[in-house]
Structure 1
Amino acid sequence: MGAQTSKSANEGDAERTPLLTDPQIDGIDQPAGLIKRPGRWLARNAVVVSMSLLILGVIGVLCLFFRAYKSGKAAVCLTPACVHASSEILYNLSPDYKSIDPCNNFEELVCGGWDERHDLRPDQGDAFTGTIMSENSQMLLRHILEAPYPGDSKHSSFSPARLVETLSSVDQQNFNTLRDAYNACMDEETIKKAGVSPLIEILHKVAELYPAQGSINRGTSPVSRQDDKSLSDTVLFLARLGVSSLVSFGAGADDKDPDTVVVVASPPWRIGLPAKDYYSDDDVVKRYEDTLVNIIDQLHPDLQDDKQDKIAASSQAKKFAHAVVEFEKKLAAASPDAEDRDDVTQYYNPMSLKDAELLTPQVQLGHIINSLAPSDVTTQRLIVSSPDYMKNLTSTLKDTSKDVLQTYFIWKTIQAFASDIEADELKAYSRFTNELQGKDPDSTPERWRSCVSHVDGGLGWILSRFFVEKAFSEKAKEFGDQIVSDIKDRFIEKLRVTTWMDQSVIELAIEKVHKIVQKIGYPTKSPNILDPSNLQDYYRSVNISPSTFFQNALSMDQFEVAREWSALGKPVDRDEWGMTVPTVNAYYNPPGNEIVFPAGIMQFPVFDVEVPQYLSYGAFGSVSGHELSHAFDSTGRHYDQNGNYTDWWTNSTVAGFEERADCFIDQYSKFTVPGPDGKPLHVNGRLTLGENIADAGGITAAFAAWKKRQAETPNEDLPGLDHFSQEQLFFVSYGNWWCGKSRKETAINRIYTDPHAPKWARILGTMANSRDFKESFGCAVKEPVCEIW
């Protein structure tokens, strides 16, 4: 009733209010009759006045249009978002950007200012624009975790917390779980008070599972067939904690039957040192061995039991450490090279469980796998990613003493949980790992950063639900879908005119693009992060306490292992995501034929719905095109439109691809970083091949997609950047995404292990391979150095 009464009163006021301002307000005393005359005249001539105003408006717009057309300039966007974007670009550009030749040194042009204005923290080995974005997301997550549960009044318009009371209660319970995990991690006093005690309990369990009666001092006890059960039980115990030792085990989609979950047995991703190449560096090996001596002397259960003779214990620690390093050298030598590790043509070796057990009988693969699998599932078949490693492991174990193998298991456990312990006994290891990356030896990340990562790693989907509410919108999701869809369309057009592919392959390739599933922003299944009850059920088996950080971390690890293995015996869940929502990254999954873009990467300055589209297409669009191009790179090309690993390319098409791929290998192999001995260390062109192909294909598809959109809806210019055309700013935006710097030691580590080229090489190499870039900047040579898509 109140609203109706008010409405009636307002309508009455409208009827009585004169068209012009009340004369009493103006302070002009006029007769009432004079006030009514203009109103009557306008009423009689309303049509004439309206038409006159309309004509004048059209003339004004046409004048502005022809003036802009004559000058050849678009309108300048002066919104806060555009001013912010413009300042970010100017901030990153070299101070001398107007005098730098973009065709020769584009990386310096777009990143010179970034380099000058960003320093690495003592705890950082490298950083780039994505690092800044990730840390901005971390800051947002910190604010979420340190604030009270947001009440209804604080939720965004599409918040999942605008729920009925019962669901809102579950949502708050989930939030409390997050906060408990975070607070337990932040409670450094309690963590330091516990010291190494939680780790010692696990180490004693390992020593009990794989006992070694003798010592190196008193003579060795070689591994024998009688030890197979205890060896296997130890590997199994560690696997349940998420620790890889002699063999890594996992469950995932079968490459040749992508709807079926299969077991995979592979060499450990990391033997001991971060890469097998390090075992050839005498200086690194010496420092590594010294670190082991220090840690083993303090934490090895057998040595702690005999501490009355400290000199003898230290002597044993040295012998143990040296023997373990020599053992690791053998394992590393038997492991695949980095460029072969993820090559499906190398790692896909299906065999029966019985045949696989013959490769490494000591490990008892059947016992371990069937213990990890659900009780109602029996595994008869698996993928052995490196049969040669398994064979070499057998001979290596025969030549290894039980003391060494036990110490190796203990050392792998220490490495796995070192980051979860605050104790002086582990300082030597943290110093070594820091030095290996060029960091300050005693540096540590700010505790809150580590704790945000801890929560994201263990309860990431609940955290994702609160991140989405703060940092993502339906408008952003729609724009992301538009960009990815546009790029798929442009890639199809590129395929249609590809001359080195046979027509039959082109048709299947187009079908594959059509079938690529695009996942944008956040999952709404497996789990549905907008459904509190679904999230609570998903993490039901995780035990979180506000006072037991180590036990929380252990429970998270065990949950993740159990969740992975619970997929056995069921169809592949194609609704799962491999990255949590705050992650600043993206991926293509070949068996799933899907491209996935978490909301974390869809943030400023890579992605913004409020700025001219050439910026988002240049950065996020190129990322999207990159992931789509992976469907046809050196790995993705082996998977058909349904995600099956199969030979669907004709011989002539394969030959055409390999000829062009060799160009990329040669091109990127010429890029170098300073090596450990001061000599140039070359980028591994084979290891980085797939990423380099994807970079080139991605930027080509993104540029074509944006140009089509620009033709339909012209973009505005940015203030202060009239030195560049919109086409050029597309590439500036791309280059800004990769601005970064790295310490020498971290750069070396990445050359050994990272399938991506250094950030600066990704700028220079991709620009050299982009015809659109060369035409946009008027380079003398327009022909790309290398080109596939």
Structure 2
Amino acid sequence: MPFEDPTEKTALLEELGATLERPTSRRSHAVFRRVGRIGQLAIGLLLVIGGGFHYLNHGQLPEKYGVVKDRTCLTPSCIHASSEILYNLSPNYKELDPCTDFEELVCGGWKERHDLRPDQGDAFTGTIMSENSQRLLRHILEAPYPKDSRHSYFSPMQLSAGDKSEDEKNFDKMKAVYDACLDEETIKKAGTAPLIKILREVIRLFPVTQKSGVVTEDDHASIGDTVLYLAQQGISALISPGTGADDTDPDTVIVAVSAPYRIGLPAKERYLDEKLLARYQAVISEVLPALFPDQEISNSTIESLVSFEKELAAVSPSPEDRNDVTKYYNPMTLSEASALTPQLNLSHIILSLSPPHVEIPRVIVMTPSYQKNLSSILSDTEKSTLQTYFLWKAVQSLHTYISSPILTPYTRFSNELAGKAPDSVPERWRTCVSHVDDGVGWILSRFFVEKAFSAKAKEFGDRIVSDIKALFIEKLKKTQWMEASVIDAAINKVHNIIQKIGYPTKSPDIMDPHALGEFYSSVSVSSDEYFANALALRQFQVKEEWSALGKPVDREKWDMTVPTVNAYYNPPGNEIVFPAGIMQFPVFDVNLPEYVSYGAFASVAGHELSHAFDSTGRHYDQNGNYTDWWTEKTVREFEKRAECFIEQYANFSIEGPDGRPLHVNGRLTLGENIADAGGVAAGFGAWKRRAEEAPNADLPGLEFFSQSQLFFVSYANWWCGKSTKETAVNRIYNDPHAPKWARILGTMANSREFRESFGCGRKEPVCELW
């Protein structure tokens, strides 16, 4: 999902109690992952200035005025919002047909006025929100601990002196992570030495001699030890083990094993491009021998490495199968899972990662076919090839923490694969803010939320999400294709959905300095050891994930840090989660007419709630259990309607690597496309209900549009963006979301309310579920 920019509050905004905006993006690494938003309102003020009415109270008209002649909101927040929308509109927006070209109408100006930086493969409104949040975080990280600043009522700064001391220690730990990352001179001096140390350990664990030959049974222990060592550093090699809630028993933490999510190139389809493979091989031939001038890594060994990766890619699951619970949920005993690929010594890997004395009653083998094929591939693989593979996985995973010209060929190659300028690098502070968020993100969240969030925003977010739930229940009651028993169960599921808004208050409570300090107590970092810090933080995350085994699922945990400009629905937890990062302008603002926040944020909230009933979510009941709770007739009716979405989005295409059309994968993107349609329908219905109770004010300069039309303009504004061809291609292969322009066009084509609001000739949606 999405991002915006921090601006200083004016004295007037301060006086009126207006809130300003910021955001960011991130995600967690555990094997089980699935991915939503929030709302409520406050007191309004009516200012009479020069005889004109200026409205606050979420841009709503005071009830006693009814419909007045001049109902335009002229507060700084409303003027800012209007200018943003007008800035993004196509210069010819009045001449364009919204029914056929809505993306260009809303986003034409955005595309003209926003250029990708050389280090960017794509960007959209969410990217800008994220970058604005990053700037705010930079200011926090580069300033002293805020001892004398004013603080919100929920700030730890309101606590006792002892608590302040603990809070400051947490700040210092976060600052050390940031400062070490910024210290490029020290990083350059260290060169490749820290990485070489890791690679030497790989060689020690999996030694090779000139007479080694192919992998034999004698090598199984060494292979297992090497895969385990890399896994402890957060590196997936051959397999990807992890933990998460058991789909059929969502209160129990279970082990899962899958194929690596990335073999080496960005997508398995990339291994079919022989020219690209030749470039890839040439890059590896430049990098690995230069890292190990005293180690014989021949061109033939590197050629074998690329062929080995190509074999792994060929037997890896497709992205749509990887995301399909009916295909990845394969419970086995630990011995059964180990027997699929005996060369891995899987039992040893899992038991070593697990806490002592914890039983492993079963393992979810997400990709059994891959693991069987992997066994056959390993039986025919030279040990030298396998060792080189292990070394290369470590280089690919850890190279960003190293500054050395030896690694330049690979960074250039990676940039080119994303369509970036070959020698481009992000500004260092951007890299380091992200590094802090990835490593000690809950400490960073504590300082972010105090600057960028408010009690009023949380209330408004809670209200919006509650409105969406109520509206969705009404839609379910009117659904004709679902049988009555399924509708009743679906309504119960909506009632049971947990909504998490803004920031976590448990596991850890980010506003409790002691809780934060305890959470990161095992992490030791310094302000001059960037690589060592990165490794320590990776190891901490691995241990934290595996430490959950043997305990009930912690339903208080969040999978995204607070600055993240994103949201998610978690099926086993039956929860929708909206970090404060996404609750920022222009997606969300308590000081604007509500069609703005409902058009964007409520549609996102509806999107996440719709995931509870999409092609994946429908398999989970009201308690998060993976079970068949739909009747056969309802399933048939759902699949018939789902096929419409599959065919509709498969008609969208981009230019492929060979210059031919590369079509959107309608099956891979099905869940997201269903959620987009459901989200907009729920968001619009929820806003209409609120607007009937309290009419909204107009935004200045946008008289061309009705308020209903501006709801959809606000929605589409969120997806305005652009991409390099290369990044667009990679996303078609792997991303369960359709391209952003297609999300606008497809969703509007599927919205009855959109087509009625803009007077389109055909009012019937192309595809519809709810």
TM-score, normalised with respect to structure 1: 0.89
CA distance in 2, matches of 1:788, 1:409: 47
3-state SS of paired residue (1:445): coil
The 5 Å alignment of 1:452-491 reads 452-491=433-472
| Preserved contact between residue 296 and residue 317 of structure 1 (Cα < 8 Å) | no
2:325 aligned to 326, 335, 344, which one?
344
Q: Give the structure 1 partner of residue 568 of structure 2.
A: 587
Does the alignment pair 1:499 with 2:505? Answer: no
Q: Give the structure 1 partner of residue 652 of structure 2.
A: 671
Q: Give the structure 2 partner of residue 168 of structure 1.
A: 164
3-state SS of paired residue (1:154): coil
The alpha-carbon distance between structure 1 residues 73 and 230, as it changes in their structure 2 partners (threshold 3 A), is farther
| Preserved contact between residue 68 and residue 74 of structure 1 (Cα < 8 Å) | no
Does the alignment pair 1:135 with 2:116? Answer: no
Does the alignment pair 1:375 with 2:359? Answer: no
CA distance in 2, matches of 1:475, 1:338: 40
User: In the TM superposition, what is the alpha-carbon distance from 1:357 to its structure 2 partner?
Assistant: 1.4
User: In the TM superposition, what is the alpha-carbon distance from 1:567 to its structure 2 partner?
Assistant: 0.3
| Preserved contact between residue 152 and residue 162 of structure 1 (Cα < 8 Å) | no
Q: Give the structure 1 partner of residue 73 of structure 2.
A: 77
Does the alignment pair 1:436 with 2:417? Answer: yes
Q: Give the structure 2 partner of residue 305 of structure 1.
A: 294
1:256 aligned to 229, 244, 248, which one?
248
Q: Deviations over 1:15-59 (max 9, x none)?
A: xxxxxxxxxxxxxxxxxxxxxxxxxxxxxxxxxxxxxxxxxxxxx
The 5 Å alignment of 1:540-555 reads 540-555=521-536
CA distance in 2, matches of 1:124, 1:380: 45
Q: Deviations over 1:299-345 (max 9, x none)?
A: 24xxx325xxxxxx5xx431121101100111111110111111000
Q: Give the structure 1 partner of residue 216 of structure 2.
A: 224
Q: Give the structure 1 partner of residue 105 of structure 2.
A: 109
CA distance in 1, matches of 2:63, 2:653: 52
Report the RMSD for the aligned CA atoms in angstroms: 1.5
| Preserved contact between residue 349 and residue 385 of structure 1 (Cα < 8 Å) | yes
User: In the TM superposition, what is the alpha-carbon distance from 1:427 to its structure 2 partner?
Assistant: 0.4
Q: Give the structure 1 partner of residue 193 of structure 2.
A: 197
User: In the TM superposition, what is the alpha-carbon distance from 1:758 to its structure 2 partner?
Assistant: 0.3
Does the alignment pair 1:291 with 2:283? Answer: yes
| Preserved contact between residue 74 and residue 715 of structure 1 (Cα < 8 Å) | no
| Preserved contact between residue 418 and residue 426 of structure 1 (Cα < 8 Å) | yes
User: In the TM superposition, what is the alpha-carbon distance from 1:156 to its structure 2 partner?
Assistant: 3.0
Does the alignment pair 1:642 with 2:623? Answer: yes
| Preserved contact between residue 348 and residue 385 of structure 1 (Cα < 8 Å) | yes
Q: Give the structure 1 partner of residue 592 of structure 2.
A: 611
Q: Deviations over 1:676-710 (max 9, x none)?
A: 01111000000000000000000000000000000
CA distance in 2, matches of 1:228, 1:380: 23
Does the alignment pair 1:90 with 2:66? Answer: no
3-state SS of paired residue (2:157): coil
| Preserved contact between residue 154 and residue 511 of structure 2 (Cα < 8 Å) | no
Q: Give the structure 2 partner of residue 632 of structure 1.
A: 613
CA distance in 2, matches of 1:299, 1:653: 59
| Preserved contact between residue 460 and residue 580 of structure 1 (Cα < 8 Å) | yes
| Preserved contact between residue 436 and residue 746 of structure 1 (Cα < 8 Å) | yes
User: In the TM superposition, what is the alpha-carbon distance from 1:663 to its structure 2 partner?
Assistant: 0.3
Q: Give the structure 2 partner of residue 25 of structure 1.
A: none
CA distance in 1, matches of 2:753, 2:685: 9
One-letter identity of the residue aligned with 2:680: I
| Preserved contact between residue 74 and residue 716 of structure 1 (Cα < 8 Å) | no
Does the alignment pair 1:123 with 2:115? Answer: no
The alpha-carbon distance between structure 1 residues 490 and 65, as it changes in their structure 2 partners (threshold 3 A), is closer
One-letter identity of the residue aligned with 1:271: I
1:564 aligned to 525, 535, 545, which one?
545
The alpha-carbon distance between structure 1 residues 519 and 65, as it changes in their structure 2 partners (threshold 3 A), is closer
Where structure 1 has 5 or more consecutive residues not aligned to the other structure, the ranges are 1-63, 307-312
1:238 aligned to 224, 230, 234, which one?
230
Q: Deviations over 1:362-419 (max 9, x none)?
A: 1111111011000121313100001111100110000001000000000000001011
Q: Give the structure 2 partner of residue 354 of structure 1.
A: 335
User: In the TM superposition, what is the alpha-carbon distance from 1:87 to its structure 2 partner?
Assistant: 0.6
CA distance in 1, matches of 2:767, 2:85: 28
Q: Deviations over 1:417-472 (max 9, x none)?
A: 01111111100110000000110000000000000000000000000000000000
CA distance in 2, matches of 1:256, 1:287: 45
User: In the TM superposition, what is the alpha-carbon distance from 1:111 to its structure 2 partner?
Assistant: 0.3
Percent identity (aligned): 66
CA distance in 1, matches of 2:221, 2:627: 38
| Preserved contact between residue 374 and residue 566 of structure 1 (Cα < 8 Å) | yes
3-state SS of paired residue (1:741): strand
3-state SS of paired residue (1:597): strand
User: In the TM superposition, what is the alpha-carbon distance from 1:154 to its structure 2 partner?
Assistant: 3.1
Which is helix-richer, 1 or 2? 1
User: In the TM superposition, what is the alpha-carbon distance from 1:606 to its structure 2 partner?
Assistant: 0.3
The alpha-carbon distance between structure 1 residues 226 and 476, as it changes in their structure 2 partners (threshold 3 A), is same
Q: Give the structure 2 partner of residue 13 of structure 1.
A: none
Larger radius of gyration: 1
CA distance in 2, matches of 1:425, 1:305: 15
Q: Give the structure 2 partner of residue 280 of structure 1.
A: 272
Q: Deviations over 1:85-120 (max 9, x none)?
A: 111000111111111110010000000110110000
| Preserved contact between residue 187 and residue 530 of structure 2 (Cα < 8 Å) | yes
User: In the TM superposition, what is the alpha-carbon distance from 1:233 to its structure 2 partner?
Assistant: 0.3
| Preserved contact between residue 574 and residue 623 of structure 2 (Cα < 8 Å) | yes
The alpha-carbon distance between structure 1 residues 715 and 294, as it changes in their structure 2 partners (threshold 3 A), is same
Q: Deviations over 1:590-639 (max 9, x none)?
A: 00000000000000000000000000000001110000000000000000
Q: Give the structure 2 partner of residue 661 of structure 1.
A: 642
User: In the TM superposition, what is the alpha-carbon distance from 1:158 to its structure 2 partner?
Assistant: 3.3
Q: Give the structure 1 partner of residue 35 of structure 2.
A: none
The 5 Å alignment of 1:384-395 reads 384-395=365-376
Q: Give the structure 2 partner of residue 188 of structure 1.
A: 184
3-state SS of paired residue (2:117): coil
CA distance in 2, matches of 1:574, 1:164: 30
CA distance in 1, matches of 2:595, 2:158: 35
Q: Give the structure 2 partner of residue 535 of structure 1.
A: 516
Q: Deviations over 1:192-241 (max 9, x none)?
A: 00010000000000000000112xxxx66110000111110000000111
RCO higher in structure (CA 8 A, sep ≥6): 2
One-letter identity of the residue aligned with 2:176: D
3-state SS of paired residue (2:350): helix
User: In the TM superposition, what is the alpha-carbon distance from 1:297 to its structure 2 partner?
Assistant: 1.3
One-letter identity of the residue aligned with 1:146: E
CA distance in 2, matches of 1:89, 1:573: 41
User: In the TM superposition, what is the alpha-carbon distance from 1:65 to its structure 2 partner?
Assistant: 11
| Preserved contact between residue 650 and residue 666 of structure 2 (Cα < 8 Å) | yes
Where structure 2 has 5 or more consecutive residues not aligned to the other structure, the ranges are 1-60
CA distance in 2, matches of 1:165, 1:262: 42
User: In the TM superposition, what is the alpha-carbon distance from 1:67 to its structure 2 partner?
Assistant: 13
Q: Deviations over 1:743-778 (max 9, x none)?
A: 000000000110000000000000000000000011
User: In the TM superposition, what is the alpha-carbon distance from 1:155 to its structure 2 partner?
Assistant: 2.1
Q: Give the structure 2 partner of residue 722 of structure 1.
A: 703
| Preserved contact between residue 63 and residue 694 of structure 2 (Cα < 8 Å) | no
After the TM superposition, which of the residue ranges 371-380 and 414-423 deviates more from structure 2?
A: 371-380
After the TM superposition, which of the residue ranges 156-165 and 385-394 deviates more from structure 2?
A: 156-165
Q: Give the structure 1 partner of residue 381 of structure 2.
A: 400
Q: Give the structure 2 partner of residue 146 of structure 1.
A: 142
The alpha-carbon distance between structure 1 residues 209 and 613, as it changes in their structure 2 partners (threshold 3 A), is same
CA distance in 2, matches of 1:512, 1:565: 30
